[in-house]
């Protein structure tokens, strides 16, 4: 385990401030080129590219109810571009501003979609190596892909941030009164997605009594689990938590979870799992919040972005 030195700006040590400030105030300009690809089940994924003519590609996976338009995604795309990598930020099903075609959507375990994106990138473009970067849900998805599936050999390294690698215990933390505002925001956004699906697929899904849902247990029991083939929320959480699969990861991987992340319980700091795998490093800064790690500088790069490109460049050099 490593505890890299991250010193937050004055007045930004609080985990909630670190979490909320970038969402409201950070602006990053990236000019994407969008590509829509058809999935194996006749759905679609929208990919946003920012290329520099490199033979190295970083694929970036966003968090719950995020998109490629989020500042933390754009900030990472800028960082990899500035360091000689092409950037590909992909939107999960229903996250690009348009409802997807199928009833299924996305969740913490959609490794099939991530694999589809990787396969598309490697066969259409002449990249010699691919790195994966994931935030929150996207971080869990990335670790799950690396540890549970058979990752494509072109994937050479990965960096993930603010990872709820134990979904059951993370859901319990988010259900606490101290996280009520976050929980409410997620549920409102998810309800908007459900309403859009209701118009496309009347009779297959509804939101009757949705106001009674107060946490992810109720939401996942009603929607995520049955729609995606799980018995219930607990079955979904247990099968899609990346923590048990971390010992199986075979490519250099860096996990960065801040100690004051309001979304993460103690179980989401996988010290024992990392100790059993020399390929994986765990960094636990004292501060950083959830997908925060704020820095103020002329480059408009956050500490997390600098750490990511350092790790990717180092391992690219070794390859």
Q: What is the mean pLDDT of residues 301-318?
A: 94
**3-class DSSP state of 48:** strand
Nearest to 19 by CA among 312, 288, 250: 288
pLDDT of 189 > 50? The answer is: yes
Active site residues: 136, 261, 290
- Give the global pTM: 0.97
Beta strand pairing call for 253-256 and 155-161: parallel
Residue 210 phi/psi, 5° resolution?
-60, -30
Residues of the chain with pLDDT > 90, as a percent, come to 96
Listed in order, strand segments (DSSP E) in 154-214 are 155-161
- Residue among 281, 283, 243, 242 at smallest CA distance from 259: 283
Tell me what pLDDT residue 9 has: 93
Residue 2 has pLDDT above 80, yes or no: no
pLDDT at 124 (0 to 100): 87
What pLDDT digit, counting tens, does each position of 239-252 carry?
Answer: 999 999 999 999 99
Q: pLDDT tens for residues 17-39?
A: 999 999 999 999 999 999 999 99
Q: Residue 253 above 50 pLDDT? A: yes
pLDDT value at residue 4: 57
Res 69 pLDDT > 70: yes
Q: Is the pLDDT reported for residue 3 higher than 70?
A: no
Report, as an integer, the average pLDDT of 260-284: 98
State yes or no: pLDDT of 308 exceeds 60: yes
Residue 131's pLDDT is what?
Answer: 99
Assess contact for 107 and 36: CB atoms under 8 A. Answer: no
Is residue 319 scored above 80 in pLDDT?
A: no
CA atoms of 115 and 143, how far apart (whole Å): 12
Identify the pLDDT of residue 1: 44
Domains of the chain by residue range: 15-166+246-318, 173-240
User: How is residue 84 written in tokens?
Assistant: 């000689």
CATH architecture type of domain 15-166+246-318: 3-Layer(aba) Sandwich (3.40)
SS3 of 79-130: HHHHCCCEEEEEECCCCCCCCCCCCCCCCCCCHHHHHHHHHHHHHHCCCCEE
pLDDT digits (tens, 9 = 90+) for 144-175: 999 999 999 999 999 999 999 999 999 999 99
CA distances from 6 to 74, 182, 283, 307 (A): 21, 25, 10, 10
E strand spans, 136-264: 155-161, 253-256
């Amino acid at each position: 385990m490593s505890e890299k030195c991250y010193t937050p700006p004055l007045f930004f040590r609080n985990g909630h401030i670190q979490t909320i400030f970038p969402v409201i105030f950070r602006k990053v300009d990236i000019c994407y080129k969008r590509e829509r690809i058809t999935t194996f089940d006749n759905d679609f994924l929208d990919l946003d590219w920012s290329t520099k003519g490199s033979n190295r590609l970083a694929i970036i996976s966003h968090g719950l109810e995020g998109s490629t338009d989020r500042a933390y995604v754009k900030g990472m795309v800028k960082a990899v571009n500035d360091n000689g990598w092409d950037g590909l930020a992909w939107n999960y099903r229903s996250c690009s501003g348009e409802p997807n075609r199928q009833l299924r959507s996305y969740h913490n375990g959609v490794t099939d979609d991530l694999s589809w994106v990787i396969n598309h990138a490697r066969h259409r473009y002449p990249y010699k190596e691919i790195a994966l970067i994931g935030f929150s849900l996207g971080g869990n998805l990335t670790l799950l892909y690396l540890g549970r599936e058979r990752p494509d050999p072109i994937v050479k390294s990965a960096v993930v941030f603010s990872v709820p690698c134990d979904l059951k215990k993370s859901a319990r933390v988010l259900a606490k009164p101290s996280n009520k505002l976050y929980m409410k925001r997620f549920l409102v956004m998810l309800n908007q997605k459900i309403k859009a699906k209701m118009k496309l697929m009347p009779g297959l899904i509804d939101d009757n009594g949705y106001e009674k849902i107060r946490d992810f247990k109720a939401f996942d029991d009603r929607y995520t689990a049955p729609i995606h083939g799980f018995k219930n929320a607990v079955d979904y959480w247990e099968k899609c938590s990346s923590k048990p699969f971390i010992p199986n990861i075979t490519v250099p991987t860096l996990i960065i979870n801040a100690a004051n992340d309001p979304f993460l319980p103690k179980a989401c700091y996988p010290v024992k799992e990392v100790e059993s795998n020399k390929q994986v490093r765990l960094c636990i800064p004292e501060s950083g919040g959830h997908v925060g790690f704020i820095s103020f500088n002329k480059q408009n790069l956050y500490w997390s972005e600098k750490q990511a490109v350092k790790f990717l460049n180092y391992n690219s050099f070794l390859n």
